[in-house]
Amino acid sequence: MSFGDWIGQLENWVFAVLAFGTLAGAILVVHSRNVIHAALGLVLTLGSLAGLFLLLGAEFVAWTLVMVYIGAVIVLFLFGIMITRAPLGYEIDLSHPTSVKVTAAIVAGSLFALIGWAFLDAFEAVEFAAVDGPTRTADIGISMFTNYVIPFEVMSFLLLAALIGGIVLARQDPEEADE
Amino acid sequence: MSFAVLLTIKVLAVLGLMIGGALVVIFAELKIGAHMQNRMGPYFAGGRFGWAQPLADGLKFMQKEDLVPDGADERVYKLAPYVVLMGTVGVFVVLPLSPRFVARDLDLGAFYALAISSLTTLGVLMAGWSSNNKYSLIGGLRAAAQLIAYELPLVLAVVAVAIQAGTLSISGIIEAQAVPVFTIGELNVALPYILTGQIIGFAIFFIASIAELSRIPFDMPIAESELTMGFVTEYSSIRFTMFFLAEYAGMLSMSALATAFYLGGYQLPGLSSTAIEVLGPVIFISKVFLLSFVFIWLRWTLPRFREDQLQSLAWRWLIPAALLNIAITATFKVVF
């Protein structure tokens, strides 16, 4: 497909805008010196990602992203930042020493390479059917509780463990508090 | 009709429904509140009953200067009302006024409505933080704590409805309430979910939606006597109007969701399907206004909760009750 064909389709314009939003938000997250702006950048990234999922017809994933990440996780982030330190206008120096930056770049780069390679390796030869309308939520539910029931149970067990861990870490017994 | 024309019509219909409905509810609040307090309420604007008061208020707000407080984070401050309004308008897209009169009937409409309305929390936090005002910040934080706490019972109550109906589509849930529960001779009797097992679910949903809207008795985030107006304190002009509109439109959208989930939506027992095609919007809107009246009634009747009472109501009572409701609904669904 030539570039002329690519640019002629409306979906690709939408894709370009959403991809730009994702990237711009991600850059704002790591580049902003204001923690609140960084968190809001994450909102932009996740919102654009939800848009990309909508473009793929994955409505359930898209709205889960909005509900869980934008509606709950980011709100908790913002809540946490605001209740502890929310310097308005005053911008703290958040930059790290060069050695940390280099390590972070290596970790991020290798993770990107690994995921990219894994995707290419797994799906290179697979021909995907064209998306025709949104996926039905009922189908997702059926496949989750038939084909993927063990991964689903493992995930819920992991989340339960994380939840208990969180409570144990945050909890302070009355006797200990008295000492 | 082409896609663009249809889209324009739908957007205008959704906005018209939202703004028109909100104006009616604002007027109802002024008048009903006045009667409950033995006052006159508005009586001048527009002549009879002062019916034009909400319009006059809106125009007055818009004429004011759009102020940004000194030291505020200007971009975030200006963006916040849009985010709040977006979360409210989004819900109206999936509300079916009759079997056909719906802007977009999504396969996961109920889930979408809850997801998009959770954007409101984000906008409230943005407004509270960026105003550079202690009242606003405390109001925003209280609002966020409250919205997080009450979103859980709200969603869990809807989960039980989705289990009983076997679908997440709002039209689907309404249609599921038209299935006859029992028959008397020739007559098939279909009952809404509030009468067929979801009465606790309805109570949880309604209490949680009052809290989501930060209305009395859950109005800690904007408690006038202690926080001026909470996160809205610094806003003026059109941005204040947007918050105001979002509050009342939110009341409508919450009433509409409760109507669809528990009160049978556009269905009315005894009416034929052709009658519902025609009368659907009237029935739906009447039910919505009935619930809105209950919202207003509670506001002018009850005193305000304390912050700790409000949190313990959500975490100790509503969430366990909602979980129990899910378990019971699921058991009945499997057994019968």
- Residues in contact with B192: Cβ distance below 8 Å, sequence separation at least 6, in sequence order: B177, B262, B263, B264, B267
Residue B215 lies in a domain: yes
Locus of tokens 């067990």: A157
Whether B141 and A83 lie within 8 Å, measured CB to CB: yes
Residues of B in contact with A82 (CB under 8 A): 125, 128-129, 137, 140-141
Least confident stretch, A81-85, A107-111, B138-142, B203-207: A81-85
* Nearest chain B Cα distance for residue A121, angstroms: 34
Whether B126 and A79 lie within 8 Å, measured CB to CB: no
With a cut of 70, say whether residue A174 has pLDDT above it.
Answer: no
- CA A68 to chain centroid, in Å, comes to 10
Taking residues B184-202, report their average pLDDT.
76
Q: For position A118, what pLDDT does the model report?
A: 92
Between residues B222 and B127, the one the model is more confident about: B127
Residues of A in contact with B145 (CB under 8 A): 79
Instruction: Write out the residue range of the structural domain in which residue B105 sits.
Output: 64-335
Between residues B169 and A88, the one the model is more confident about: B169
Q: Confidence band (pLDDT; 50, 70, 90) for A178?
A: low
Residue B307 lies in a domain: yes
Q: Does A87 touch chain B (CB under 8 A)?
A: no
Between residues A91 and B325, the one the model is more confident about: B325
Q: Does A86 touch chain B (CB under 8 A)?
A: yes
Name the amino acid, one letter, at B330.
Answer: A
Q: For position B31, what pLDDT does the model report?
A: 87
Q: Does A36 touch chain B (CB under 8 A)?
A: yes
Query: In terms of CA atoms, which chain A residue is nearest residue B136?
Result: A82
With a cut of 70, say whether residue B14 has pLDDT above it.
Answer: yes
- CA B31 to chain centroid, in Å, comes to 20
Best mutation site among B121, B124, B158, B159 for testing chain A: the one with the most A CBs within 10 Å?
B121
Q: Which of B108, B144, B168 sits opposite A75 (nearest CB)?
A: B144
Between residues A151 and B265, the one the model is more confident about: A151
Between residues A79 and A159, the one the model is more confident about: A159
Taking residues A6-24, report their average pLDDT.
85
Highest-pLDDT range among A34-43, A156-165, B30-39: A156-165
Name the amino acid, one letter, at B86.
Answer: M
- Cα–Cα dist B48/B108, whole Å: 44
Taking residues A19-26, report their average pLDDT.
91
CA-angle at B28, arms to B24 and B31, nearest 5°: 140
Q: Which of B111, B119, B144 sits opposite A70 (nearest CB)?
A: B119
- CA B132 to chain centroid, in Å, comes to 29
Name the percent of chain A lying above pLDDT 70: 87
Q: For position A131, what pLDDT does the model report?
A: 67
- DSSP alpha helix (H) spans, A32-148: 35-55, 59-64, 74-84, 98-123, 137-146
Residue B30 lies in a domain: no
Query: In terms of CA atoms, which chain B residue is nearest residue A35?
Result: B129
Best mutation site among A36, A66, A68, A142 for testing chain B: the one with the most B CBs within 10 Å?
A66
Q: Confidence band (pLDDT; 50, 70, 90) for A177?
A: low
Whether B73 and A64 lie within 8 Å, measured CB to CB: no
Q: Is the model's pTM score more than 0.90?
A: no
Number of domains in chain B: 1
Domain positions in chain A are: 3-95
With a cut of 70, say whether residue B44 has pLDDT above it.
Answer: yes
Whether B115 and A66 lie within 8 Å, measured CB to CB: yes
Residue B53 lies in a domain: no
Whether A71 and B71 lie within 8 Å, measured CB to CB: no
Q: For position A161, what pLDDT does the model report?
A: 95
Residue B264 lies in a domain: yes
Whether A59 and B72 lie within 8 Å, measured CB to CB: no
Query: In terms of CA atoms, which chain A residue is nearest residue B115?
Result: A67
With a cut of 70, say whether residue B1 has pLDDT above it.
Answer: no
Name the percent of chain B lying above pLDDT 90: 3
Q: Does A78 touch chain B (CB under 8 A)?
A: yes
With a cut of 70, say whether residue A89 has pLDDT above it.
Answer: no
- The ipTM (two decimal places) reads 0.80
Question: What pLDDT digit, counting tens, does each position of B54-96 carry?
Answer: 888 888 888 888 888 887 777 888 888 898 888 888 888 888 8
Whether A86 and B71 lie within 8 Å, measured CB to CB: no
Following DSSP, what letter does each residue of A115-156 receive, concatenated? HHHHHHHHHTTPPPPPP-SPPPHHHHHHHHHHTTHHHHHHHH
- Average per-residue pLDDT for chain A: 83
Whether A79 and B148 lie within 8 Å, measured CB to CB: yes
Question: What pLDDT digit, counting tens, does each position of B315-324 carry?
Answer: 888 899 999 9
B269 neighbors B185 (Cβ within 8 angstroms): no
With a cut of 90, say whether residue B122 has pLDDT above it.
Answer: no
Between residues A90 and B185, the one the model is more confident about: B185
* Right CATH for A3-95 from 3.40.50.300, 2.40.30.10, 3.20.20.140, 1.20.120.1200: 1.20.120.1200
Query: In terms of CA atoms, which chain B residue is nearest residue A135?
Result: B107
Q: For position A110, what pLDDT does the model report?
A: 95
Residue B8 lies in a domain: no
- The token duo for B35 is 């009667």
Best mutation site among A10, A28, A70 for testing chain B: the one with the most B CBs within 10 Å?
A70
Q: Confidence band (pLDDT; 50, 70, 90) for A175?
A: low
**Which chain A residues in 126-155 lie under 8 Å from chain B, judged by CB atoms?**
134, 136-138
With a cut of 70, say whether residue A90 has pLDDT above it.
Answer: no
Whether B148 and A134 lie within 8 Å, measured CB to CB: no
